[in-house]
């Protein structure tokens, strides 16, 4: 992967972007030249998205800073290309460079207005009020104008980030523009990967105006990077192609401990996810009453029947399952019920990597998250959704406010790799690095989808004789693969047609298509 491709993956804070731009300017790039380049590329992309043959009247919102300057350059370029451009300019005082562009726009005869209502007949709105770095809450006339804009039906393109969103947390600062498209300038900002911001961002694209890699890495090397997982990075960790000479034990042995009489489906779905990973050997420990059912659905797996309680939970692990030295990885939790604390206590003593999900996490929280994990010498992977995360880490305040920061804190506190599920899943290593899954689908909001992911993660980890330093990349690869399979299934079945079993059946078709494309 070349340096520019690496920058496509990187996600920065507002302060990091500010420092990177400062280095670019210090190296001799004029601010005006960078504005011309970034805004010119943005104008070209807008013309591609909304050609003059389809849209002719364009309204552009002008802010007081350099985001407003970008918007004025775009206004000029669209005007010269034949669009009928009108400006909304609510600010009397502009930064010097922005003021120069405003003067030229006026000399070109581009009309400007102080009332947003003057733009209501435009077919497209471009939001250039505020770029990255906004921290104050919007109020007064500007907030009223944004609220009015959000009631209109025209498509809206935001430059860099929708005005009113916090660049890092994605938090709405009073109010925010609901964009149809957001064209992110330079490097991806953290707010694009916060669940709270997604309904405001719309479709997102990056406008690459040529950030020199050496200037970016001079800043980013000061802390652990935050990166997106995509096909180019994921294929480094996918278990294909296999070596020509191998056998099942070289492809890993995964032990899955899950299920109960009440939640039999969790065991099946976890097993299906693991099977799709290609793991060489799959053993599944379930209550003895579930063995016939599991054999029917997973005939290639070794089904281990366990003594069960009166309510149908696993009472204890038989010797074949409790000899953890036989397995490369253990995945534990889906469908166990909270009566299985002794099982979770047992697997916490395993000297191999452990993946805990669902009731594995609930039992861990009851046992004491930090105290229990501190006893482990081998790597641990926790895969909570937001509710489970709050139970595991009650001292992390409002994790939904900044999911990236929350997952970093949780990994640092626990020493575990944390996968926080969501519309933009985040995976953090205890040392601070974070992988983000950049796309997903609401089709995955179905019971059992997480069970499939647990099996997939366990299967991938079992196949890799890797060090702890790469485990989070493998976990991220599994989460990305899971999301992409969901997207493919939703395209073919609609979002309502992707139950967890169907999802499991799309894991290998997606992988086959992805490999063919590369």
Binding residues for AMP: 421-425, 450
What's the CA gap between 60 and 125, in Å, rounded? 6
The C-alpha angle 55, 57, 62, rounded to 5 degrees, equals: 120
Helices 66-80, 96-107: inter-axial angle, 10-degree rounding: 20
Rg (CA), the chain: 26
Please confirm whether the linkage preceding 241 is cis (ω < 30° from 0).
yes
Q: Which residues are annotated as a binding site for K(+)?
A: 67, 127, 163
Q: How far is CA 290 from CA 27, 191, 286, in A?
A: 67, 45, 6
Strand, coil or helix: 488: helix
Binding site feature residues for (6S)-NADPHX: 66-70, 131-137, 160, 335, 385, 451
The residue count of the chain comes to: 518
Our CA angle for 96, 30, 37, nearest 5°, is 95
Distance CA 182, CA 204 (A): 5
Q: Give the residue from 455, 400, 390 showing the smallest Cα distance to 423.
A: 400
- 459 within 8 A of 282, measured Cβ to Cβ: yes
Terminal-to-terminal C-alpha distance of the chain:
14
- Determine the Cα angle at 368 with ends 363 and 374, to 5°: 115
Cβ proximity of 386 and 399 under 8 Å = yes
**Residue corresponding to tokens 């299934």:** 489
Please, are residues 329 and 304 in contact by the beta-carbon 8 Å criterion?
no
In this structure, what token pair is assigned to residue 195? 């669940």
- Please state, in angstroms and rounded to a whole number, the distance separating the CA atoms of residues 39 and 74: 6
Closest Cα to residue 81, out of 50, 127, 111, 123?
A: 50
Cβ–Cβ < 8 Å for 265, 238: no
Work out whether the CA dihedral 442, 445, 446, 448 comes out positive or negative.
positive
Report how far Cα 35 is from the mean position of its chain's Cα atoms: 29
d(CA 480, CA 468): 19
Residue 307, both tokens:
């003594």
- Tell me the binding residues: 66-70, 127, 131-137, 160, 163, 335, 385, 421-425, 450-451
Q: Where are the beta strands (DSSP E) in 268-377?
A: 281-287, 302-306, 329-332, 354-356
- Residue 150, classified by CB atoms within 10 Å of its CB into exposed (0-12), middle (13-18) or buried (19+), is middle
């Amino acid at each position: 992967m070349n340096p520019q491709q690496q920058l496509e993956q990187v996600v920065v804070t507002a302060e990091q972007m500010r420092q990177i731009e400062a280095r670019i300017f210090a190296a001799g790039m004029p601010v005006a030249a960078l504005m011309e380049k970034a805004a010119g590329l943005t104008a070209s992309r807008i013309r591609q998205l909304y050609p003059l043959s389809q849209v002719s009247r364009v309204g552009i919102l002008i802010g007081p800073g350099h985001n407003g300057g970008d918007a004025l350059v775009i206004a000029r370029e669209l005007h010269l290309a034949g669009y009928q451009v009108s400006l909304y300019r609510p600010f009397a005082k502009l930064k010097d460079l922005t003021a120069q562009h405003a003067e030229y726009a006026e000399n070109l005869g581009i009309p400007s207005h102080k009332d947003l209502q003057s733009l209501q007949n435009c077919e497209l709105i471009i939001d250039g009020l505020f770029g990255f770095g906004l921290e104050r809450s919007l109020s007064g006339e500007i907030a009223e104008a944004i609220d009015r804009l959000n009631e209109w039906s025209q498509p809206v393109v935001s430059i860099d980030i929708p005005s009113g969103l916090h660049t890092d947390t994605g938090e709405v600062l009073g109010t925010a523009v609901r964009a149809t498209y957001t064209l992110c300038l330079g490097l991806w900002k953290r707010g694009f990967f916060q669940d709270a911001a997604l309904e405001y961002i719309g479709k997102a694209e990056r406008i690459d105006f040529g950030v020199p890699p050496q200037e970016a890495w001079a800043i980013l090397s000061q802390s652990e990077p935050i990166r997106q997982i995509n096909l180019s990075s994921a294929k480094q960790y996918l278990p294909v192609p296999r070596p020509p000479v191998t056998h099942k034990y070289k492809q890993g042995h995964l032990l899955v401990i899950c299920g109960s009489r009440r939640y039999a489906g969790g065991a099946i779905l976890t097993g299906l996810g693991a099977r799709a990973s290609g793991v060489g050997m799959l053993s599944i420990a379930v209550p003895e009453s579930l063995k016939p059912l599991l054999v029917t659905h997973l005939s290639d797996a070794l089904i281990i029947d366990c003594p069960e309680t009166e309510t149908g939970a696993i009472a204890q692990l038989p010797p074949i399952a409790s000899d953890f030295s036989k397995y490369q990885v253990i995945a534990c939790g889906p469908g166990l019920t909270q009566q299985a604390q002794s099982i979770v206590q047992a697997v916490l003593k395993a000297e191999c990597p452990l993946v805990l999900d669902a009731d594995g996490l609930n039992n861990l929280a009851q046992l004491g998250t930090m105290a229990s994990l501190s006893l482990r010498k081998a790597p641990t992977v926790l895969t909570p959704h937001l509710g489970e995360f709050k139970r595991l880490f009650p001292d992390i305040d409002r994790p939904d406010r900044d999911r990236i920061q929350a997952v970093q804190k949780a990994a640092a506190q626990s020493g575990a790799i944390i996968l926080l599920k969501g519309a933009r899943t985040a995976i953090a290593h205890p040392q601070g690095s974070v992988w983000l899954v950049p796309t997903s689908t609401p089709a995955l909001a179905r019971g059992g989808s997480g069970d499939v992911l647990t099996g997939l993660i366990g299967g991938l980890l079992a196949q890799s004789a890797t060090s702890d330093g790469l485990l989070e990349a493998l976990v991220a690869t599994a989460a990305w693969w899971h999301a992409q399979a969901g997207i493919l299934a939703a395209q073919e079945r609609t979002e309502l047609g992707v139950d967890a079993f169907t999802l499991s059946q799309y894991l290998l078709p997606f992988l086959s298509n992805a490999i063919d494309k590369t």
